[in-house]
Amino acid sequence: MPLSQHKPMTKNAVLITGAAGEIGQALVRELAAGGAQIVTLDLAAMPPELAGSTTHVTGSITDKALIERLGTEYSFGTIYHLAALLSTRAEHSPALAHEVNVDASVLLLELAAAQSAARGEAVKFIFPSSKAIYGMPDLETKAAHPRVREDEWLHPDTVYGANKLAVELLGAYYSRRYKQLGDAPAALLDFRALRFPGLISAFTLPTGGTSDYGPEMLHAAAQGKPYACFVRADTTIAFMAMPDGVKAMLTLAAAPRQALSRTAYNVNSFSLSAEEFRQQVLAAFPEAQISFAPDAKRQGIVDSWPMGIDDSAARADWGWAPDYDLARCFDEYLVPNIRQRYQR
Ligand code: SER
């Protein structure tokens, strides 16, 4: 719908970009239950069951005029900037990845900076970053450092990892030093990033990521389809249940600013190898046909990601703790919901 037909300006509206994507759908479901005025932006329409919960704008985050118009029509208290090209997709079009993942993020940071200055109150800017900002040089080093801390190994091998790290740094700049040589704005925005493991949802599938082999294996098994996993059986990275991903974003967004010692936090859940993932899937779907057919290039990307990430800063500063360990994730969240979804 044209922006001019939207509801009149509300203070403290919530903007969610990439809202029709995996994290977006889960986040909208949670936030809508709390009664917030939610404006969503995505290239795609919202799924029908969520369409009534938000004011949806169909469009691109790279459309500067559209972002500026959103800024004139709404006053945002919080922005969840989720829209991105994931790591495999980004690797096929690095320039487009930069435009979507970085340039568009700057448009949104500018919007949040302008609104923070105008309101005299910080707009919160919540940004999902990723384990992909780390780059382990080889498998021996990866095995020797199973839980990397925030300031280590910041040499991503992918354009996606470089994009996410760039926005983390820009977000910190907009939070702390924006226009530091000019007149101080009345308030700076409040940027907060989470570095997520591979997120797994029972309800949606990722598109264009490189940790997708986990969710793809599970959803294929639940539908009775054979699956050839594109990484080796021993490949190990961290994963997280989608409800914990949403909980992490909402908890970080609600934390008092003075409690935060950093702008980007690791959040971890559980690590397992692709073979252990297969065993979990077989325990629920014993007929599943899962083989391994590694793709050398995608394998290289996953090998460069750490086995796990140290989230002690998030635990200490804002009380982070996942609800789902490996067993609960499969037994209580993924398997029952996926069975219901595919009626198996
Ligand atoms: N899970 C994402 C991907 O595979 C990384 O954050 O691209």
Span 281-309, pLDDT tens digits: 999 999 999 999 999 999 999 999 999 99
Query: Whose alpha carbon is nearest atom 1 of ligand 1?
Result: 198
The verdict on the CB of residue 211 being under 6 Å from ligand 1 is yes
CA dist 299 and 87 (Å) reads 12
Protein residue with its CA nearest to atom 6 in ligand 1: 130
Least confident of 5-19, 91-105, 185-199, 325-339: 5-19
| Statement: residue 344 has pLDDT above 80 | no
Please check the confidence at residue 16 and state whether its pLDDT lies above 70: yes
Q: Which two tokens stand for residue 192?
A: 């907060």
Mutate to test the pocket of ligand 1, among 212, 269, 303 (most ligand atoms within 8 A of CB): 212
pLDDT tens for residues 201-244?
A: 999 999 999 999 999 999 999 999 999 999 999 999 999 999 99
pLDDT at 6 over 60: no
Q: What is the mean pLDDT of residues 35-58?
A: 95
Confidence at 318, pLDDT banded by 50, 70, 90? very high
pLDDT > 60? residue 156: yes
Q: How confident is the model at residue 4 (pLDDT cuts 50, 70, 90)?
A: very low
| 89-138 pLDDT tens trace | 999 999 999 999 999 999 999 999 999 999 999 999 999 999 999 999 99
State whether the beta carbon of 132 lies less than 6 angstroms from ligand 1: yes
Q: Average pLDDT of 263-270?
A: 98
CA of 210 to the centre of ligand 1 (A): 5
| CA of residue 174 to ligand 1 center, whole Å | 25
Q: Which residue has the higher pLDDT, 169 or 33?
A: 169
Confirm if 14 and 37 have CB atoms less than 8 A apart: yes
Q: What is the domain class of 84-343 according to CATH?
A: alpha beta
Q: Determine the average pLDDT of the residues in 252-275.
A: 98
Task: For residue 56, name the pLDDT band (cuts at 50, 70, 90).
Answer: very high
Six token digits for residue 293: 């057919």
- Give the sign of the dihedral formed by CA 279, CA 281, CA 284, CA 287: negative
| Distance (Å) from CA 87 to ligand 1 centroid | 6
37-44 mean pLDDT: 97
pLDDT interval class at 10 (50, 70, 90): low
Nearest partner of 171 among 241, 108, 92, 95, judged by Cα:
108
Share of the chain above pLDDT 90, in %: 94
Q: Would you say the CB of residue 268 lies under 6 angstroms from ligand 1? A: no
Average pLDDT, the chain: 96
19-33: average pLDDT: 96
Domain segments of the chain as ranges: 84-343
Strand order in the sheet with 264-266: 55-58, 38-42, 13-17, 76-81, 124-130, 190-196, 264-266
Which letter does DSSP use for residue 120 in this model? T
pLDDT at 9: 62
Ligand 1 atom closest to residue 160's alpha carbon, by position in its atom list: 7
Q: Answer yes or no: is the C-beta of 210 below 6 A from any ligand 1 atom.
A: yes
- Of 210, 216, 237, 303, which is best to mutate to test ligand 1, by the most ligand atoms within 8 angstroms of its C-beta? 210
Tell me the pTM: 0.96
Q: What is the pLDDT of residue 343?
A: 83
3-class SS at 40?
A: strand
- Atom of ligand 1 minimally distant from the CA of 198: 1
Percent of the chain scored above 70 by pLDDT?
A: 97
- Binding site membership of 86 for ligand 1 (Cβ less than 6 Å): yes
Residue with CA at minimum distance from ligand 1 atom 2 = 209
Measured from the Cα of 88, ligand 1's closest atom is 7
Please report the atom of ligand 1 found closest to the CA of residue 128.
6
> Hey, is 248 helix, strand or coil?
helix
Mean pLDDT for 257-261 is 98
Q: Is the CB of 23 within 6 Å of ligand 1?
A: no
